[in-house]
Amino acid sequence: MAATSTSLFSSHLHFLNSQPFSSTHSFFQSVHSTLSFPPSKPSRGVVAMAGSGKFFVGGNWKCNGTKDSLSKLVSDLNSATLEPDVDVVVAPPFVYIDQVKNSITDRIEISAQNSWVGKGGAFTGEISVEQLKDLGCKWVILGHSERRHIIGENDEFIGKKAAYALSEGLGVIACIGELLQEREAGKTFDVCFQQLKAFADAVSSWDNIVIAYEPVWVIGTGKVATPEQAQEVHAAVRDWLKKNFSVEVASKTRIIYGGSVNASNSAELAKKEDIDGFLVGGASLKGPEFATIINSVTSKKVAA
Ligand code: PGA
């Protein structure tokens, strides 16, 4: 036992020595998050699952597709065999939500990729939460890095959007993640915690929020964070929820990973204890590949 603890501790020391930290604050957060969750504790019939929420996989179709190509994608998804213990959501472009909702199996829920910050009205070009609900949407993706860094949405605006969507009964897929230069400057945790805090300051409950950690440097780039890099941030996010809210919130809030997830890397990522699912861009446009990613939940199950 003593030998195990010592070697565990020295591996943490090795980990700590190898990390650049932006400040004493993030250094201690890292020590805490590294040490606070024991590796691989069995939970609800699976291995490597720190949280208690159901595995969640979302397909973010972004600004892609036509009536015809999405009709083919929907038909591929309708005929795929999907593991039952996964929540599956797809986010079509606004203009195809109705078509997709009317043709896709009820097994798959619909998300929007954005929503207006308040009640609809004289807001040219915007789509309201009320309209999304009218079409049968259950979710909305907010804070995606493309909206933060290309469109220029800030933390406060994103927080307000989340609060409004939740107040109207939509679930929120709340995206956070650092830029490459922020990671290289050792600011990964600081950036993620600040983005989380902006959501936390605006909303009154985490009940209908799924957190998507998506490092910006791996989105659409073909680069993927290693399972260890992803796990490190997911554990820190769960620890942040525990410290700032409760053990219960930390356990039940799904923390999903996004950024160049595909059929070849999803199983290894899914094995990590704090990865509760995925938000998938490019690979969600191919039905069979997206189904493989959804079914990577099986790599979490206890071997017989
Ligand atoms: P990607 O996109 O899988 O194409 O990297 C992920 C996302 O932006 O949600």
Please, what are the domains in the chain? 42-300 (3.20.20.70)
Is residue 258 lining ligand 1, measured as CB closer than 6 Å? yes
- The alpha carbon torsion through 249, 252, 257, 262 (nearest 10 deg) reads 180
Closest atom of ligand 1 to 262 CA is 3
126 among known catalytic residues: no
Of all protein residues, the one whose alpha carbon is nearest to atom 3 of ligand 1 is 281
Is residue 214 lining ligand 1, measured as CB closer than 6 Å? yes
Closest atom of ligand 1 to 219 CA is 5
pLDDT (0 to 100) of residue 38: 40
**pLDDT higher than threshold 80 for residue 271:** yes
Q: At what angle do helices 188-202 and 155-167 cross, to 10 degrees?
A: 40
Lowest mean pLDDT among 12-21, 118-127, 199-208, 233-242: 12-21
**What is the C-alpha to C-alpha distance for residues 47 and 271, in angstroms, rounded to an integer?**
8
For range 289-304, the mean pLDDT: 85
Per-residue b/e over 124-152, b at no fewer than 16 CB within 10 Å? eeebbbebbbeeebbbbbbbbbbbbeeee
**What is the C-alpha to C-alpha distance for residues 141 and 258, in angstroms, rounded to an integer?**
12
Which of 32, 39, 35 lies closest to 10 in space, CA to CA? Answer: 35
Place of tokens 């680069």: 223
pLDDT (0 to 100) of residue 73: 98
pLDDT (0 to 100) of residue 128: 98
